[in-house]
């Protein structure tokens, strides 16, 4: 884990598809997010190559996510000088956690709290308890730093694609059922969508910190 010289992130809407910031950037404030990274395999990307074009027949502006993960925190704001103590507190909390397998194979539609973005996700159907345990530890760190804890009764998921605005009306119902059928009928989908949680990662500004599980 390391932190190199401070660089102020610059907000350029052209770089993120016109997304609206949940909170404005202020000098010295760093958007911070804790999550489990999802390492893609060829079969997963093959499934996505079938799912996304089908969803785009309902909402053409959908775009594939650049990277895949399962969130353990909301996006919070850290002052720059709190980043290393925050990460160390996380590392201490994660030190005794075992790696575990999980499955994410239930298609679900999500929006952010402001309803300015919509996501197609795969919800966790096994491993939920282990994710809750991880969130419990992350929440303790959040409380230590007077930051917002995670959602009550969270739906752990891998976001596959996103678009601007609230597109639930177009994606839920018939489209959602068709996407679920694609997942269910995909060859060896149960194995394709079974993964191993091996680390927790923290992204703060443009810095990444990795905390391996045992």
The residues near 135 (Cβ < 8 Å, ≥ 6 apart) are: 72, 73, 150, 154
28-41 confidence digits (pLDDT tens): 899 999 999 999 99
pLDDT at 17: 61
Active-site option among 25, 33, 69, 81 = 69
**Cα dihedral across residues 139, 116, 179, 41: positive or negative:** negative
CA neighbor of 200 nearest in space, from 61, 84, 57, 94: 94
Predicted model pTM:
0.88
pLDDT at 84: 97
pLDDT at 6: 33
Domain boundaries of the chain, sorted by first residue: 29-208
pLDDT at 8: 38
Sheet holding 63-64, edge to edge: 63-64, 157-164, 117-126, 100-111, 194-197
Is 54 marked active-site? Answer: no
Rounded to a whole number of angstroms, the distance between the first and last alpha carbons of the chain is 17
Q: How far is CA 28 from the centre of its chain?
A: 24
Is 157 marked active-site? Answer: yes
150-170 confidence digits (pLDDT tens): 999 999 999 999 999 999 999
pLDDT at 3: 34
What's the average pLDDT block by block, 10 residues per block, for the chain (214 residues)? 36 51 69 97 98 98 98 97 97 96 98 96 98 98 98 97 98 98 96 97 97 96
Assign domain 29-208 to its CATH architecture. Alpha-Beta Complex (3.90)
């Amino acid at each position: 884990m390391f932190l190199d010289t401070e660089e102020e992130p610059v907000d350029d809407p052209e770089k993120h598809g016109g997304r609206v910031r949940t909170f404005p950037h202020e000098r010295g404030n760093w958007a911070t997010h804790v999550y489990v990274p999802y390492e893609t395999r060829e079969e997963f990307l093959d499934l996505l190559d079938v799912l996304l074009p089908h969803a785009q027949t309902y909402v053409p502006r959908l775009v594939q996510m650049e990277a895949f993960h399962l969130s353990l925190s909301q996006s919070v704001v850290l002052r720059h000088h709190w980043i290393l103590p925050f990460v160390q507190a996380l590392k201490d909390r994660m030190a005794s956690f075992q790696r575990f397998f999980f499955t994410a194979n239930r298609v679900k539609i999500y929006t952010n709290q402001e309803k300015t973005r919509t996501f197609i996700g795969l919800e966790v159907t096994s491993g939920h308890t282990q994710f809750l345990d991880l969130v419990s530890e992350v929440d303790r760190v959040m409380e230590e730093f007077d930051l917002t804890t995670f959602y009550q009764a969270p739906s752990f998921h891998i976001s596959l694609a996103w678009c601007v605005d609230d597109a639930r009306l177009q994606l839920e119902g018939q489209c959602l059922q068709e996407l679920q059928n694609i997942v269910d009928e995909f060859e060896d989908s149960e194995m394709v969508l079974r993964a191993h949680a091996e680390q927790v990662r923290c992204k703060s500004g443009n810095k990444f910190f990795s905390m391996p599980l045992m």
